[in-house]
Amino acid sequence: MKQLSGNQIRQMFLDYFKEKGHMIEPGASLIPNNDPTLLWINAGVAALKKYFDGSEKPRCNRIANAQKSIRTNDIENVGKTARHHTFFEMLGNFSIGDYFKEEAIPFAWEFLTSEKWMGIDKNRLYVSVYTDDEDAYRIWTEKCGVDPKHILKTDDNFWEIGKGPGGPDSEIFFDRGEKYDPEGLGERLFFEELENDRYVEVWNIVFSQYDCDPSIDRKDYKELPQKNIDTGMGLERLVALIQDGETNFDTDLFLPIIHATEKLAKYPYEGEYKMAYRVIADHIRTVTFALSDGANFSNSGRGYVLRRVLRRAVRYGLKLGLEDAFLYKLVPVVADTMQDFYPYLQEHVEFNQRLIKIEEDTFKKTLKNGQALLDEEIQKAQNGKLSGEIVFKLYDTYGFPFELTQEIAQESGLEVLRDEFDAQMQLQKERARNARNTKESFASQHVDLMEFTQESQYIGYDHLECDGTIIALFKDGKRVDALEEEGQIILDTTCFYAESGGQIADTGVLEVDGIKAQVLDVQKAPNKQNLLQVKLEQGVLKEGMTLHQVVDSKKRAAITANHSCTHLLQSALKQVVGSHISQAGSYVCEDYLRFDFNHFEKLSKEQLVEIEDLVNQYIDANYTVTKEVMDIEDARKSGATALFNEKYGDRVRVVTMGDVSKEFCGGCHVDHTSQIGLCKIISEESIGSDIRRITAKTKYAAYKECAHQQAQLEHIAKSAKQKSTKEIELKVDSFLEQMHALQKENENLKNQIFALKSKEWILEAKECGSIKALIKKVQGMDASALKDIVSNLKGQDENIVCFFVNVNDNKVVFVAGAGKEAVRKGVHAGKLVKQAAMLCDGNGGGKPDMAQAGGKDISKVDEAMKLVENTLKEI
């Protein structure tokens, strides 16, 4: 077996399949493009879903790729096992209706065993096939020469996820030898399918040949009209086998990161510390790649997943003595290790380091927030137990390890319900699984649409009216002869824009003698034609009819102005905020535009004013807007901005606005910037950690927004008894100044009252054992005021214990506090209020020096006060 690096193995795989006539598909971003069913790209085939479900036709039906992927459903196993990862690369070869089993199986065998390629000993390979898949068994034995004694037939070898394409699969396993078989069970491990580290799955080949439907028997599944091949081989796993690494982590893909971490840590990569090193190495790869692909930390969606991954790495860093932020220091190591195949990582090192450093530094603040929630829940806890749901929330939202919550709860005399916590953890896993299956992984193939390849010409950039002949009609994806109500049509020529690039579709009317139909929506068909969703108002549509098309010109004009404005807005953002600004999404309709971008913090009012002013300067400059189709390499050389996650063909359309904007764009645009009229920014907000959104309006909608704001200003002026809006700013400043003065005066009065009360009440304190105790009922003061008085009293006497009781609306509130000396002698304010509250059918608790609790039974108040007094006497 050859000695190869991870980079060499990846490249060898791609070279092999290129030699076999495959198109090498560039790896897609980890962030799925226009696929709401996926949070992350989680397999090689996920990035090619559009080809398998027929929504798009590939340039070549033979495809191979090396696809970076993220899966976090088993994150708790990462570091514990030899092969679990949150980030990994999947090597895959695919056939979209081209070759099938007869070639797919020999391809895999040749790559693994040929001396020209991997050169693995055939005797160390084992194969599994689906029980009823005689074709696969025959090909393995007769065509590849695999010993039947090395083949396992099993019902488990069938791949399906809900309704849609699926079929039998075949797996290849590598025998790592007796070193990984401590009990000496040999082939029993493989044929009895026992959990083991000796026979390791290398490659899975899925034969997608059936239209699966779990509601019926598998034997009744219908054959697909187009049979596909989908294979996957984990790079990390293959590299470990080739390099004879004890685990996937003991290879040149991970060891540079582990060694760099060793230089920062207190303990070496050995024994009990290995798991922590492996967690860190895996997780920093995940975070580095995800951030480089445009993800950001947040409290929802993929940003939440990313935050959870980072927190887990930080926690394991503590086990290695890494108290300060350290993960950000590993980002350059990841970039250096992976730069041969992913050179773009180097461009993002500084950016990623900053994001990770900020996230690491704020993690302690997150723990503080979690502590505040925990204190609150301890006060509310009943029956001496802390809910497992709360413990899970602390774990899941604030990153609190279970053991930390348990320790803090025990200090307050509470038991943590571990079973409830585990149940919540299981529910989360089930929710994650259900979310993945909510929508089908691959839609059932719309064969008629997929097979319709006749071209349709779009001329809508230059025409809002035109004639076009119907070349196909569809109902729910199936081709039909006529439409009487609602369905889809494709015209040989159309001026209706199909939704894409964030711009919504055109609407309008189709007409001919005696026939009228509304165009409700336009989408791209699998073979790139514009597919019009139509609703008949009169007549019947049939193939061959020529229709007059009229686009809603008012709507198109508004959309066009808004789309052009997004380009100017991005340019202004880069000018005012910084060149790091990049588009993270957009939405352009007739009413407004939205532009999402990457940035660390909220934009200041001054920045927004400057951005809006600059955009309107661009509009007023009346720049000529040119649209030119050119080779993609020429477009890149010209400096045109492209979307990072977007896939482009060999030819692209470039939209240029004077010398201020040049972008790849297939949308509709004005001819001169002055046609945008006016830009008014409506809002700037966060839609996720480090992703901001600006919403704006143009043309008449922008004017109406300005008019509305003027009307609001005039109303304020009238309320402030000002004759015009010119003086309103000074008047508001005067009002605010007066309000702040009154607030300060009120605060001073409150402090004087509390000081007087404190001097008065401290005289009522009685000797109670070795401490002074002030146990008192009070009226007309809320818990906050009582806490202020307690703090004042503690400042006067460190040996004092205060216990205040406030009865209101048939409820009782207890507030207690203890000075430093009293606490040293054993007083615990939290326990005092807890025992009083429990006597009054309530609960609560808190810290030794300050606590609050409540109860419902006010008849027991006097008894509770006596109980507290007796408790203090025993100290």
Does the annotation list 84 as a binding residue?
no
> 645: Cβ–Cβ under 8 A, 6 or more apart, which residues?
28, 29, 31, 33, 293, 294
Helices (H), 381-453: 388-398, 402-411, 418-438, 447-451
Average pLDDT over residues 789-796: 90
Banded pLDDT at 660 (limits 50, 70, 90)? very high
Nearest alpha carbon to residue 850 among 836, 837, 832: 832
Least-confidence region, from 25-34, 70-79, 317-326, 399-408? 399-408
Residues 30, 39: Cα–Cα separation, whole Å: 9
What is the model's pLDDT at position 400? 73
Residues 44, 42: Cα–Cα separation, whole Å: 7
Query: Looking at residue 444, what DSSP letter applies?
Result: P
Average pLDDT over residues 361-365: 77
What is the model's pLDDT at position 302? 84
Give the pLDDT confidence of 525-534 residue by residue, as tens digits.
Answer: 989 999 999 9
Residues 875, 649: Cα–Cα separation, whole Å: 81
Banded pLDDT at 260 (limits 50, 70, 90)? very high
pLDDT above 90: residue 484: yes
Residues 562, 681: Cα–Cα separation, whole Å: 12
CA atoms lying within 13 Å on the CB side of residue 345: 22
What is the model's pLDDT at position 367? 67
Give the pLDDT confidence of 154-180 residue by residue, as tens digits.
Answer: 999 999 887 888 999 999 999 999 999
Does the annotation list 495 as a binding residue?
no
**What are the phi and psi torsion angles at 428 (to 5°)?**
-65, -40
Average pLDDT over residues 314-339: 94
What mean pLDDT, rounded, does the chain reach? Answer: 90
Average pLDDT over residues 511-537: 95
Q: How many residues does the chain have?
A: 875
Query: Looking at residue 874, what DSSP letter applies?
Result: T
Q: What is the CATH number of domain 6-249?
A: 3.30.930.10
pLDDT above 70: residue 435: no
Q: Are strands 493-494 and 457-458 parallel, antiparallel or unpaired?
A: parallel
Residues 173, 252: Cα–Cα separation, whole Å: 22
pLDDT above 50: residue 443: no
Let me know the angle formed at the C-alpha of 500 by 496 and 503, rounded to the nearest 5 degrees: 80
pLDDT above 70: residue 77: yes
Strands of 441-545, DSSP E = 457-458, 465-475, 478-480, 482-483, 486-491, 493-494, 508-512, 515-524, 530-538, 541-542
* Rama region for 361: left / alpha / beta (φ>0; ψ in -120 to 50; rest): alpha
For the chain, give the percent of residues with pLDDT over 90.
65
What is the model's pLDDT at position 441? 40
The strand pairing partners of 70, in sequence order, are: 87
pLDDT above 60: residue 390: yes
Banded pLDDT at 206 (limits 50, 70, 90)? very high
Give the pLDDT confidence of 308-318 residue by residue, as tens digits.
Answer: 899 889 888 98
With contact defined as beta carbons under 8 Å apart, do 543 and 470 qualify?
yes
The torsion angle over the Cα atoms of residues 114, 117, 122 and 127, rounded to 10 degrees, is: -110
Give the pLDDT confidence of 743-773 residue by residue, as tens digits.
Answer: 888 878 877 887 788 888 999 999 998 899 9
Q: Does domain 556-714 have CATH number 3.30.980.10?
A: yes
CA distances (Å), origin 762, targets 767, 800, 864: 12, 9, 21
Does the annotation list 708 as a binding residue?
no
Residues 17, 65: Cα–Cα separation, whole Å: 9
What is the model's pLDDT at position 615? 98
CA distances (Å), origin 621, targets 322, 678, 706: 56, 12, 21
DSSP state string for 734-798:
HHHHHHHHHHHHHHHHHHHHHHHHHHHHHTT-EEETTEEEEEEEE-S--HHHHHHHHHHHHHH-T
Fold of 447-551: Elongation Factor Tu (Ef-tu); domain 3 (2.40.30)
509, two tokens: 């009317």
- Domain map of the chain by residue range? 6-249, 254-361, 381-440, 447-551, 556-714, 761-873
Q: Sign of torsion, CA 710 712 716 722?
A: positive
pLDDT above 60: residue 18: yes
Does the annotation list 740 as a binding residue?
no
Fold of 761-873: Diaminopimelate Epimerase; Chain A, domain 1 (3.10.310)
Prediction pTM value:
0.58
Banded pLDDT at 414 (limits 50, 70, 90)? confident
More confident: 378 or 207: 207
Identify the residue whose tokens are 């005067």: 734
Average pLDDT over residues 258-283: 97
What is the model's pLDDT at position 710? 86
For the chain, give the percent of residues with pLDDT over 70.
96
Lay out the sheet containing 583-588: strands in order across.
583-588, 593-598, 691-698, 679-688
Banded pLDDT at 439 (limits 50, 70, 90)? very low
What is the model's pLDDT at position 445? 53
* Rama region for 304: left / alpha / beta (φ>0; ψ in -120 to 50; rest): alpha
Least-confidence region, from 119-123, 292-296, 644-648? 644-648
Average pLDDT over residues 113-129: 97
Average pLDDT over residues 241-258: 97
CA atoms lying within 13 Å on the CB side of residue 163: 8
Banded pLDDT at 404 (limits 50, 70, 90)? low
Banded pLDDT at 442 (limits 50, 70, 90)? very low
